[in-house]
Structures are given as C-alpha cells and as structure tokens.
Amino acid sequence: MDFSSPEYSQYMDLAVTYGIKIIVSILIFVIGKWISKALSNTAEKLMVRGNVDTTLVKFVRSILYILLLAVVIMAAISNLGIETTSFVAVLGAVGLAVGLSLQGTLSNVGAAVLIILFRPFKVGDFVIIAGETGVVDEVSMFSTTLTTPQGQTMIIPNSAVIGGTITNNSLKETKRVDLTFGIGYDDDLREAKKLLEEIAANDALVLKDPEPMVAVAELADSSVNFTYRVWVNTADYWTVYFDTIEKVKLAFDDNGISIPYPQMDLHLDNTKQTEGE
C-alpha cells in the first residue's frame, strides 16, 4: 500500500475521526455513569434528610439512576453520529416486542408502583407475604427482598406480593399473645387459673390495658384447657411468648399441677366366653 496515496490519507482521517469519537463516547458513558450514580445518591440523601419513607427512597433512587443512565447512553450514541431519532424508534419497537414476551416480568414493575403508592409495608417491617415470613430489606422494581428469622434471603417477585395476602406484623404498635395451657382433670382448677393470672400481672412487659384474660376454654379429651391472652408492645411479642411458656411450666411444677399428654382410658370387657369358644 502506498502510504502517500490519497486513499491512505482518507482512511487515516476516517480512522482518527471515528477513533476520537469512540474514545469520547466511552468517556461520556464512563463519566456519565459516575455522575448518574452520584446524583441518585445525592437525591437519596436529600430524601432521607426529609424523612421520606425508606421504601420510597430506595425505589425512587433506582428509577432515577436508570433514567439518568438512559440519557447518558443516548448521548454516547449520538456522539458517534448515529441518528438518535431513528434509534429511539427502533429501540421502541424492540422494547414493545420484548415487553410482549416479558409480560409477567413487567407486571412486577406495576406491582412495585402499587406497593409504593399503597404502602402495605415498608423497609424494616416484619411481614408474611407470598407465604414467606421475614423482615423487609428492599423493594426494587422487580422484587421484594426479605430476611427470614433463620437468616435466609428471600427474593419474591412483586406480582406475587400484590397477588397474595399480606400480613404486616409491624403495622400496629401493640399485639396480642395467644397461648393455650392444659391441666389434668384431677388438678385444682382455681389454683391453676390463679397462677396464670399472677404470671400475667407480674410480667412488666404485659400491658394493663387491654386487661389480660385467663379463661377456661375447653374440656378436652385428656385435659382442661385455659386460654391465656395478653397484650404487649409489638417489639416485645416473642420475648413474652417464650418467657410465658417457661414461667407457666415452672409454676405448675412447683404447685403440683400437671400438664397432661394425650391419653386414652381402655376398658376391657371380661364377659365370659360361651362354651366351645
């Protein structure tokens, strides 16, 4: 190849021109991505200072970052000399085709909007959603992330969250502890009830209003069952739940009251057999 020929000079000019454009586009993308992240982080900090709900903060931050990144990508493509108008049209057609094939996935985005608008729960709440129990860590565009009591991470599609029953155990400030205790038919009913009432009255975590309730609920097959109901602050629920079971067992043991296990009385028929049998 003749390096002094006009064709070679033309190729070199084109290579230099497009090489510079490619480098500039890469710089636009890299710097723009950094700026997008910085702006979304700044918006997050401002919303946190404004006491905006944590769930909404995380959702808005992710949406803002995606929109800013889309603008950066379009700017980088435009710098290469590609007509963005036609590119947007093509991208829209592709997006429509992809959207039709991913209807289930895109429904998660709509479900995320509903979660943010109606706020059935927020980050930090202890919930039961889609049959899974845990603390809400994050609500993103496509899924809700929980941490279970066992320390597992559960990622649940938002459409499944909205499509099922949501139980929010943190929405109310107080919660009722419901327990059932059985005693034997030969045990002292009044003494057992008195012990249960004392346990409720002496527990500092049990609220006085509404008043604790201890009542005989059932004459079961092998036990007389008491219903034990007390109200506590939501944060104290499991502490009271487990402590009460232990206190009742120890109190019953100290006072000679049994907690019967399921049993059956068997009566044998001793009728004489007929002769020849």
Question: Per-residue pLDDT for 102 more than 50?
Answer: no
- Domain of 84: which CATH number? 1.10.287.1260
pLDDT exceeds cutoff 80 at 42: yes
Average pLDDT over residues 11-39: 79
pTM check: above 0.85: no
Structure confidence at residue 87 (pLDDT): 60
pLDDT at 84: 61
Q: Note whether 85 and 149 are same-domain residues.
A: no
Instruction: Using the predicted structure, report yes or no on whether residue 96 has a pLDDT greater than 60.
Output: no
Provide the pLDDT confidence category of residue 100 given band limits of 50, 70 and 90.
very low
pLDDT at residue 230 tops 80: yes
Last residue of a domain, one of 109, 140, 168: 168
79/57 Cα distance (integer angstroms): 33
Is it the case that residue 1 has pLDDT exceeding 70? no
Q: Looking at the domain assignment, is residue 274 inside a domain?
A: no
Mean pLDDT of 79-93: 64
CATH code of residue 218: 3.30.70.100
Q: What is the pLDDT of residue 101?
A: 45
**96-110, 152-166, 233-247: which is most confident:** 233-247
Average pLDDT over residues 24-46: 85
**For the domain that residue 160 is a member of, what is the CATH number?**
2.30.30.60
C-alpha to C-alpha distance for 120 and 141, rounded to whole angstroms? 16
Q: Which residue segment(s) compose the domain that 207 sits in? A: 174-254
Beta bridge partners of 177: 230
The whole-number average pLDDT for the span 186-208 is 95
Domain count, the chain: 3
Residue among 245, 262, 263, 255 nearest 180 (CA): 245
Q: What is the dihedral of CA 165, 166, 167, 169, to 10 degrees?
A: 180
Residue 107 lies in a domain: no
At 263, is the pLDDT very low, low, confident or very high (cuts 50, 70, 90)? low
The reply to whether 74 and 135 lie within a common domain is no
Average pLDDT, the chain: 82
112-126, 155-169, 195-209: least confident range: 112-126
Residues 63 and 55 sit within 8 Å (Cβ to Cβ): no
- Sign of the alpha-carbon torsion through 188, 194, 199, 205: positive
Q: Are residues 220 and 196 in the same domain?
A: yes
